[in-house]
Structure 1
């Protein structure tokens, strides 16, 4: 059971007792109606049929802010089969990509259907609680899985808590032959090496903020997420890195050449606050911005 306690401080201090939903559909209806706000996932379909041969219905289908397909399964309380059930549907989804593409095309258009991130499909299980066997299974499986515990507090509040999260097992990178180049090539390689070291330091800083963090990469950026993206790292051809954060640009210090508001401006990744990092010093300055964004995700 969740260890979170909620107190009403309006007249003294009174504990607001947590409770489960009256029925499983209550949780499903609430999440589906506000899926983008609650999970960072765009809702596509409810009770999606997997056909007469497979004989099942996926509770919710969606696509996350990085373009990855998402299956959401719900349970009112503890159900030892929730992870296996979700993985059963995940196997169907991966084998029926055309069906998902058609769904995306019908809901979001041809462009979105062509950009589905099939390297990182996700399963999100929302339940009253989970067993230790569920948590162990998440760590061992190759797919991205999030276990999310819910609780109602009174009649006006609901809490979501990530119990376990795993980003999946990426394929091993291909190695290429080493080449000997000119002095210019070697200087370029040296500069690239400096930026690689900086990117590694940024990666460690972003992942070091909590145990509930995962990351997923596509062709243009690497996203760092809790339940939703809180940061996106975008390498540049020039000697700099761009990091886009969930933090509100109106509530942070905007420093020319370092931090700027990109609300409404097109860019890779997600987030309205852009940081330009060129050195370890910039990374040190970015630490407070990272923490503010992490708290919002």
Structure 2
């Protein structure tokens, strides 16, 4: 995608693309800005996978919802990047204890980990149609991101595939904390979370209200991801911008936007920065009827635009 600078007299000049001198330069830049770029907390760099499964994971992180994240970088895409990433993802599921210890060292012992659906992010200058097809067929939580370096100080990043709103799988048995492995072998006794789970037992009015809200959220862009976790449904565009908790008589929404930035003329939102709540955002809204849909959606749109 060409990028142009607007100069004097309404003339434009194209900014030429540059290349990172080494793959490691790209990695260091993204690691230093993980939260800003992808909404992920940095855990470790070049993490060794041990003597039996020799390798080094480029970047380990924990996203806004407490989901483990593996990030692999390539200056250019090649045939091994997907297989390599899948190998590390499988290793992670079999070594949850090692990851948990590293998270506690980096982020503190109180940090919660949700093992329901670990993420694999692959970042390269380009991916082929075969790469995108393979990722869609595999069905794991794999994201392809492309980057461009313009000049010396402009970085562009864009997701190349949209992770389908599939059921999330928990590796912890019912009633057990998700951040604890239940056996030394890393058993995978799955609990499935889905949007349908959150709609069970709700009134037809609330279900219809959610469906209308869901349709509007997806209309914001083709690359929006929907993810059902234990207590709510997450909508993200790279980073979280909205979390939805479907209750019996209303829908509670949290927005990942600074309260003082939000334009809320009807005063529908409240600042919950210092109040305990499920979502990752610090702005809370209650949606109770159809009449509130449009003004509430306008607030959601503002949060989404922070990620574009």
TM-score normalised by L of structure 1: 0.86
Q: Once superposed, what is the RMSD of the aligned Cα atoms?
A: 2.0
CA distance in 2, matches of 1:225, 1:65: 10
**Map of 2:198 onto structure 1:** none
2:18, 2:152 within 8 Å by CA — same for their partners in 1?
Answer: no
- Displacement of 1:168: 6.9
1:24, 1:75 within 8 Å by CA — same for their partners in 2?
Answer: yes
Aligned residues: 275
Secondary structure of residue in 1 paired with 2:226: strand
CA distance in 1, matches of 2:33, 2:150: 17
- Displacement of 1:152: 0.7
CA 103–197 in structure 1, closer or farther in 2 if over 3 Å, else same:
same
Secondary structure of residue in 2 paired with 1:224: strand
1:152 pairs with 126, 149, 170, which one?
A: 149
CA 173–45 in structure 1, closer or farther in 2 if over 3 Å, else same:
closer
Please list every run of 5 or more consecutive structure 2 residues that lacks an aligned counterpart in the other structure: 170-191, 195-200
**Map of 2:219 onto structure 1:** 208
1:165 pairs with 162, 166, 172, which one?
A: 162
Which consecutive aligned stretches of 4+ in structure 1 deviate over 4 angstroms post-superposition?
A: 171-174
- Displacement of 1:221: 1.6
1:236, 1:242 within 8 Å by CA — same for their partners in 2?
Answer: yes
1:254, 1:261 within 8 Å by CA — same for their partners in 2?
Answer: no
Secondary structure of residue in 1 paired with 2:275: coil
2:193, 2:229 within 8 Å by CA — same for their partners in 1?
Answer: no
**Map of 1:27 onto structure 2:** 26
**Map of 1:137 onto structure 2:** 134
- What does residue range 112-131 of structure 1 map to in structure 2 within 5 Å? 112=111, 115-131=112-128
Name whichever structure is richer in helix by fraction: 1
CA distance in 2, matches of 1:130, 1:220: 35
- Displacement of 1:66: 0.5
- Displacement of 1:167: 4.7
**Map of 1:262 onto structure 2:** 272
**Map of 1:184 onto structure 2:** none
1:144, 1:165 within 8 Å by CA — same for their partners in 2?
Answer: no
- Displacement of 1:232: 0.5
CA 167–53 in structure 1, closer or farther in 2 if over 3 Å, else same:
farther
**Map of 2:94 onto structure 1:** 95
Please list every run of 5 or more consecutive structure 1 residues that lacks an aligned counterpart in the other structure: 175-188
- Displacement of 1:210: 1.4
**Map of 2:282 onto structure 1:** 272
1:17, 1:154 within 8 Å by CA — same for their partners in 2?
Answer: yes
1:20, 1:77 within 8 Å by CA — same for their partners in 2?
Answer: no
CA distance in 1, matches of 2:87, 2:142: 13
1:143, 1:168 within 8 Å by CA — same for their partners in 2?
Answer: no
- Displacement of 1:173: 6.6
Q: Deviations over 1:219-267 (max 9, x none)?
A: 2221101110011102335x211111234433412424x2233344332
1:93, 1:100 within 8 Å by CA — same for their partners in 2?
Answer: yes
**Map of 1:234 onto structure 2:** 245
CA distance in 1, matches of 2:193, 2:2: 44
2:235 pairs with 208, 219, 224, which one?
A: 224
1:120, 1:168 within 8 Å by CA — same for their partners in 2?
Answer: no
1:141, 1:168 within 8 Å by CA — same for their partners in 2?
Answer: no
CA distance in 2, matches of 1:51, 1:168: 34
1:143, 1:169 within 8 Å by CA — same for their partners in 2?
Answer: no
